[in-house]
Amino acid sequence: MTVTVARVEPSIAGVGDYIELMKPRVMSLVVFTALVGLLIAPGHVHPVIGLTALLCIAVGAGAAGALNMWYDADIDARMARTAARPIPAGRLAPGEALAFGLTLATGAVVVLGLLVSVFAAVLLALTIAFYVVIYTMWLKRTTPQNIVIGGAAGALPPIIGWTAVTGSFAVEPLLLFLIIFFWTPPHFWALSLYRTEDYARAGIPMLPVVAGPSETRRQILLYTLFLAPLGAAPWILGYAGPSYGITALVTGAVMIALAFRVRAEGRGQMANKHLASKQMFAFSILYLFLLFAMLLVDRMSGGLFGQIFGQIFGDVSSHFAA
């Protein structure tokens, strides 16, 4: 029997290519949301342990990104947005990305489990597995609900941050999970509206490809109408102060207004074909960032804004009482 072994050229992959595999921009949002989960959790965590947890979550997210790029190299090559990634561009062999991703994933989970919390480590392992196996390998190529269900992976980091401190679970991080979970579909569908041809060429069943742009615009509006009050829920349920509440209500109203514009755009009522979708995509990132940043400001200032508001409203009510 003759075994043919393909000659493998020595690698020309640089450090930058490996960093690109880790999807640094996605990683930054993951680290930020995990940081918020970590800082708003009750109890004290030593800064070194907190930083270790964040490092592990960041590396875990990077591992998931690398494994995603390893598996999706064929579709990435067919899409303009992703054709320049290290594997389709030929700077890095698929095997290198696979080995890199598996090494990082194992390292991140083991270190998080050894130094911080076993529960958090199990959640990190589940998040990576969910993103790579359930989303990338299965849902992404089979159903237009791919990003809806797959969004759970991106929504888990605040819960991991929370459990890194408490070692347990609560309603508050669940709210943060739900906010990111319901934010993901309108965010990605807004993008897919002006990248429909790209997705169709790559054979990915994104909602605009399968159900058409008009149905996508309707779904964006429905999800946004649900998302805006959900964004204000931490304030309504008393987990955050009025500064957070006002931010959530105002930015939520802008999100709804943009979703209506996206809907109107589909009826040909706008001059620029995809302006509203692009605005929606860009603002959705700012929206999520602002919500989490305000939650952090609110908690870090020790509810200072709440105290000021409470003082003002207390004065007013006592004035009327007198």
Partner 1 sequence: MTMSDAMNGKKPPTGIRLTEQQQRARRARSIAIAVSLGVLVVLFYIVTLVKGPGVLERPL
Contacts with partner 1, residue ranges (CB under 8 A): 10-15, 18, 46, 48-49, 52, 55, 107, 111, 114-119, 166-168
Residue 167 Cβ vs partner 1, minimum distance, rounded to whole Å: 3
Residue 10 Cβ vs partner 1, minimum distance, rounded to whole Å: 5
Residue 168 Cβ vs partner 1, minimum distance, rounded to whole Å: 8
Minimum CB distance to partner 1 smaller for 47 or for 238: 47
Residue 166 Cβ vs partner 1, minimum distance, rounded to whole Å: 7
Minimum CB distance to partner 1 smaller for 43 or for 268: 43
Minimum CB distance to partner 1 smaller for 121 or for 255: 121
Residue 99 Cβ vs partner 1, minimum distance, rounded to whole Å: 12
Residue 47 Cβ vs partner 1, minimum distance, rounded to whole Å: 9
Minimum CB distance to partner 1 smaller for 13 or for 134: 13
Minimum CB distance to partner 1 smaller for 53 or for 193: 53
Minimum CB distance to partner 1 smaller for 123 or for 294: 123
Q: What is the 3-state secondary structure (H, E, C) of the chain?
A: CCCCCCCCCCCCCCHHHHHHHCCHHHHHHHHHHHHHHHHHCCCCCCHHHHHHHHHHHHHHHHHHHHHHHHHCHHHHHHCCCCCCCCCCCCCCCHHHHHHHHHHHHHHHHHHHHHHCCHHHHHHHHHHHHHHHHHHHHHHHHCCCCHHHHHHHHHHCHHHHHHHHHHCCCCHHHHHHHHHHHHHHHHHHHHHHHCCHHHHHHHCCCCHHHHCCHHHHHHHHHHHHHHHHHHHHHHHHCCCCCHHHHHHHHHHHHHHHHHHHHHHHHHCCCCCCCCHHHHHHHHHHHHHHHHHHHHHHHHHHCCCHHHHHHHHHHHHHHHHHHC
